[in-house]
Amino acid sequence: MLRILTGGAGCTDALVAVEKGVIIGHAMASDATGRDGHRTEIGVVVADGRRGMGVGSALMRCLISRAQARGATTLVMEVLAENRPVITMITDHWPVTYQDQSGAYLTIHARLPRPRDREWPDLRAPYRSGAEPARAAGGRFSGELAGAR
């Protein structure tokens, strides 16, 4: 199902965060080329009872790492303008190059740092069917991330 939702083009990712067999968060990223170069647009949703526990951060880290491996240099997110915790998280981690408010939404464009020198996964290889453990700040989220591309 996730492969169908992402179009199977190799420039999209979909992840789910699972805890004790229950999906507690999901996220998608899709790459495009525009005025700000190679960008990845990311959307993240976390269950109300799991916000502030590192689930969204784990999903973001995974999506951004994979997008950087594909050459993305800019992160784009649409956020409710009243969602100060997420806006603060974005501006604390990445230099914002452009933002625009349209109604209740704020569209943020932020520059991604160059990936550190390390080996990246072979994104052309089929995604493992098993889940990989999530690594959240402080180890608060100890569930699993699984996805398709």
Mean pLDDT of the 3-18 span: 73
pTM above 0.85, yes or no: no
pLDDT digits (tens, 9 = 90+) for 32-54: 887 767 889 999 999 999 988 88
User: Which among 91, 101, 98, 114 has a CA at the least distance from the CA of 36?
Assistant: 98
> Do 40 and 77 touch, CB atoms closer than 8 A?
no
Structural domain boundaries of the chain? 2-112
What is the band of 9 on the pLDDT scale with cuts at 50, 70, 90? low
Q: What fold, for 2-112?
A: Aminopeptidase (3.40.630)
User: Which among 49, 52, 63 has a CA at the least distance from the CA of 89?
Assistant: 52
- Local structure of 73: helix, strand or coil: coil
What is the band of 104 on the pLDDT scale with cuts at 50, 70, 90? very high
Amino acid at 6: T
